[in-house]
Structure formats: structure tokens, C-alpha cells
Chain A
Amino acid sequence: MSDDRFRDDVVDDEDLGVPVIELNTLTEELPRKGFFGRIRRTIERRRLSSDVAEMSFGGVVTVFLELVRALFGMVEESASRKRQGDKR
């Protein structure tokens, strides 16, 4: 779209010619049958995949927190045993 031949002249609005009103007939064309059904299915599919993506992100966070908690538990238990051993 960068054709320099079109950049040189400045044209007054009144010199721009008559609008092509015939183009309006193009909007008389109707979409194929089931047009909205296909849109609806696409929207539902994307909603679902977005939900799944959010769920799996939440799942990853939960698992990570559980792991951290388990790790701290193990460390604490080991430290507690060590303290008890030292007392004996």
C-alpha cells in the first residue's frame, strides 16, 4: 500500500468524484445458513478452553502450595527429631 505516485497531489474533496453507491448492493448478500450457530459454537469452545486453562493454572498453584507445605513439614519433623535426640 505504499505507492508514491499517490502521495504527490492534494485533492480537494469536491474533486474526488461521485461515490460508488452501487457498493451498497453488496450488503444485500446474506450469510450462509447456520452463521450464528457457528459463532456460538466457537465462543463456547473458547470459553471452555479458557476455563480449562484457568483451572489448570489454579491446579498447579494448589499442587505447588501442597508441596511447599509438605516440604516444610518434613523439615520441621526432622528438626524436632533432632532436638529430641539431643535431649536424650
Chain B
Amino acid sequence: MDAHSLQERPDDELVELARSAPSGDMRPFEILVQRHSSKILANCRYLTRAPNDADDLAQEVFVKAFFGLKRFEGRSKFSTWLQRIKINHCLNYNQKKHGKHMVDVEAPGMEIEAGLYHEALGEKNLESLDQRRRIEKVLDSMSDTLRIPLLLRDLDGLAYQEIADQLAIGLSAVKMRIKRAREEFRELYDRLGRGEPLDRERRA
């Protein structure tokens, strides 16, 4: 089977091929990785706010998926199943990271760093930043409380109830957070567009 014919196959067929392939033949799984890597990478980057670790996180999501293929029953789409692995992996990463190292922006000594941040932003011509850089900056300045539900809804397209289950919070809390997150995103995004610096203080 050549790579071209594999490219045309839908996910569920590739999953079957990847499961039944001899251990050395990774081509079907490679196509699945190519197909989904951009979204997984973006999610890992913005759910965790860890650009340096995003690549490793995304790789680990695919490694987990590979070894979990035997258990994948096909009751949901492959992309949905992969999405669940990714969300669990990233939220676990966040928990571990916050457990080890939690920086309080209001802690003594942080004013200096915050000042440098504003200065650095001011020196750049914010209007010249492309859209993705603006989005990145806005997301990085938002709190986990608002950023994560927003990404799960507007980037991943999860249902409100699924988000509530993933984050172990109530449905109304999810809706309220998404509403506020959208408002905050829009406000900060527009502010950056006008060349105004972002307030680095995390909003709850």
C-alpha cells in the first residue's frame, strides 16, 4: 500500500490499519499524526501556556494514543478520542506544574518583572504583530479559569457538558466562564490591536 492511497483513507480505516500493521510499519499511524498534529500542538501550547513544553506534550499525546489503539473501540471518532487524551494529558501537566511552581504575580519582587514585561511590550510595535501573535499574547495573559474553558469550547468544539465533566465543575459555571472569557478575550485582543499594553495581572 503506497503513501498516497493511505493519505486518502479516513481516520477509522487508518486506525484499523495501524492496529493490524506489523510492528515496523508505522505509515498508517504517521498519516494520523500528520493529520492531527497541528491542532494537538496548538492545544498543548495554549492549554498549558508552556510554549517550550508544547512539542513534548503533543508527542506524548500521540505516543499514548499509539499504545492505546488496541483499546480504542471506535464508539467515538478518532479525533474525539485523541482530544480526550490530549485534554487529560495537558490538565495533568497543569496540575503538576502548579503543584511544583506557582508564581503569584502579586508576590513581593514580581513588580519588577511585571514592569519589564510592560516595557518590552511597549517597545514593540504591537500593531505590526500578526493575528496569531496577538491571540497568543491575549491567551497567555488570561487566567486558567477562563482560558481553558474558552479553548475547549471555541478551539476544540466540546459541548458545555463535556467541558463541565472534564473540569469537574457545574454546567452553569462553565457557561459563565465561557461568557466572561469571550468578553475578556475580545477586550484584550482589541486593546492589543490599538497598541495598548496588556495588563499582565491575571484576571479571575
A residues with a Cβ closer than 8 A to B are 1-3, 5-11, 13, 15-32, 35-36, 38-40, 42-43, 46-47
Contact = CB atoms under 8 A, between A and B. Distances in A.
A27 B168 CA distance: 26
The SS class assigned to the A binding surface is: helix
A1 B169 contact: yes
Contacts of A46: 63, 67
B111 interface: no
A6 B170 CA distance: 9
Contacts of A5: 204
B155 A23 contact: yes
B63 A31 contact: no
Interface of B: 23, 26, 30, 33-34, 37-39, 41-42, 45-46, 55, 58-60, 62-63, 66-67, 131-132, 135-136, 144-145, 148, 150-151, 153-155, 160, 167-170, 172-173, 175-180, 182-183, 185-186, 189, 204
Given A29-B132, A36-B30, A46-B63, A1 B144 contact: yes
Contacts of B39: 27
* Top 6 closest pairs, chain A to chain B, by CB: A17-B182, A26-B42, A11-B175, A10-B172, A23-B155, A6-B173
16 contacts: A5-B204, A6-B145, A6-B177, A7-B169, A16-B178, A17-B179, A18-B182, A24-B155, A26-B135, A29-B42, A31-B55, A35-B33, A35-B58, A36-B37, A39-B33, A43-B67
A26 B151 CA distance: 11
Tell which of B135, B169, B173 has the most Cβ of chain A within 10 Å: B173
A47 B154 contact: no
A1 B37 contact: no
